[in-house]
Amino acid sequence: MESKINIIDLFAGCGGLSDGFEQTHLYETIACVEWEKAPCLTLINRLKTKWNYENAEEIVLKFDIQKTKNLINGWTDDTLFGSHKGLDEIVQNSGKSIDAVIGGPPCQAYSVAGRIRDGNGMNDDYRNYLFESYLNVVNHFKPKLFVFENVPGLISAKPGGILIVDRITDAFEKAGYEIISNLSKNGIIDCTKFGVPQARKRVIILGVNKSAFKYNVQESLLDFYNKLLPNYYSESETVKSAISDLPKLVPLDKVAVVNGKKYSHTNNGVEVLNHSPRMHSQRDIEIFKLLTNDVLSGKNLYKTAESLKQLYFEVTGKNSNIHKYNVLKWNKPSNTIPAHLYKDGLRHIHPDPQQSRTITVREAARLQSFDDDFEFHGSITEQYKMVGNAVPPKFAKAIALAVNDFIKKYF
C-alpha cells in the first residue's frame, strides 16, 4: 500500500477543502488551522466521525495564524485560544514530514464585490496580507508543494498600489517556490466543470518547491492546469439535480412559536440535517411567491435589475444600488453561494412558489457539493457563513486527484 500524502490545511474553515482531499483516500491530514469556534467544532466532528481521526481535537488548532511563531512552537494561556503545543510538535509526533500545505486566506479583501462596498477599496484591510502568514508556515515546513485557493479578484487586487499577485509571486520565489507565470490565463478555474451545481470561479495557485524539482517548473505547471486537472471534469449539475428531492418546507397559515422560537414554515415532520428554513415575514413570503411565479409562468416581469430595484423600493420604501432579489433557476447552476448568506438569503430564493422562502443551510451545502452527512455546528448564522466561505468538496476532490497525479509524475 502506497504511503499517503501528508498535508496541513491553513484557514481551514469548516473543512470543505480538506474534505475533498480526504475523499480521495490518498491524503492524511496532519493538522488544520482555523480561528473561529463554529468551523473548528464542525471540522473536528467531521474528521472524527467521517474520517476516523481519533486525535481530531488535537490536530485542529483554533488559533490566529498571524501569530505564526506561536502557532508553530505552541502557546499557553492565550485569553482567546487557550493553550496548545503547536504545529511542530504535532508534526514530530506524527512521525511524518509535510508533503503539501493547502488552504486559502479569507477572500473578502480580494473580492471585487468587497472592494466596491469598501470606501477605500479594501486597501487597508489586514486580510490583504494574510498570505504572508501562509507563506511563513510553508517556509517552515518546506513541503514539496502548496495549493493556495482564492477568488478571481485576487488577480486584480492592488493594495498599496502593488498587485497582490506580484507580492505573492515574489514572496514565494524568495522562499524557493515557483508558481505559474500567467495566473490570469491558467489559474482561474470554473467549478461548474467539476460537477458543482453553482456558478463559482476560483483561483488555484499550485506552488512547487524548486529545490526538490528536477523538471522545467513552468512546463510542469502548465501540464497540471491544462491536462491533469481537466482529467477530472464531470457533467454539469443544476439546482434541480442538487436540491429538488429535499422535503418541502411550506409557509404556515400563521407564525408558530416553539420553545420561544418563531417559525414561518413547516417541515411536515420530516427532519433532515441542517434543513430548517429561516423565519420570514409575511411581506417577504408574498414577494418570494410573486417572483417565483413570475419565473414559472414565463412572464419574466422581474427579469431586469431595474425592475427588481423598483420592486424593492415599492415594498420597503428604500432605494438600493443593487437589486436584492434573485430566484434560483431549476435548470441552471445556482449563482455563487457567498458568506453573505448569513445576513440574508434574498439572492437565493427557492424556485418553488409553494415554498416561498430562501434556501436552507442544507440546500446551500448541496449547492456547494457537501455530502448530506456533513453536519454543520454553531448557530444558523454561523452555518450559512461557513458554507459560503467553503471550497466545494467536489471541486477540492478534483484538485486533490490532480495534485496526486502531479506528485507521482514529477516528484
- Map out the domains of the chain with their CATH numbers: 5-236+391-410 (3.40.50.150), 247-359 (no CATH)
- What crossing angle do the helices spanning 393-410 and 16-23 adopt, rounded to 10°? 60
- In order of 56, 142, 295, 306, 325, the CA distances from 303 in angstroms are 48, 52, 8, 9, 10
Cα distance between residue 406 and residue 70, in whole Å: 33
Residue 3 above 80 pLDDT? Answer: yes
pTM (two decimals): 0.93
Mean pLDDT score across all residues of the chain = 92
Residue 132 above 90 pLDDT? Answer: no
- What single-letter amino acid sits at 174? K
Q: What is the dihedral of CA 338, 114, 190, 371, to 10 degrees?
A: -20
Mean pLDDT of 11-19: 97
What is the model's pLDDT at position 115? Answer: 32
What is the model's pLDDT at position 122? Answer: 41
Cα distance between residue 394 and residue 100, in whole Å: 19
Cα distance between residue 176 and residue 354, in whole Å: 57
Residues 6 or more apart whose CB falls under 8 angstroms from that of 120 comprise none
What is the model's pLDDT at position 129? Answer: 67
Residue 273 above 90 pLDDT? Answer: yes
Which segment of 13-17, 151-155, 251-255, 387-391 scores lowest on mean pLDDT? Answer: 151-155
Mean pLDDT of 194-198: 98
Pairing of strands 261-266, 5-10: unpaired
- Residue 209 has which C-alpha cell? 518547491
What is the model's pLDDT at position 124? Answer: 43
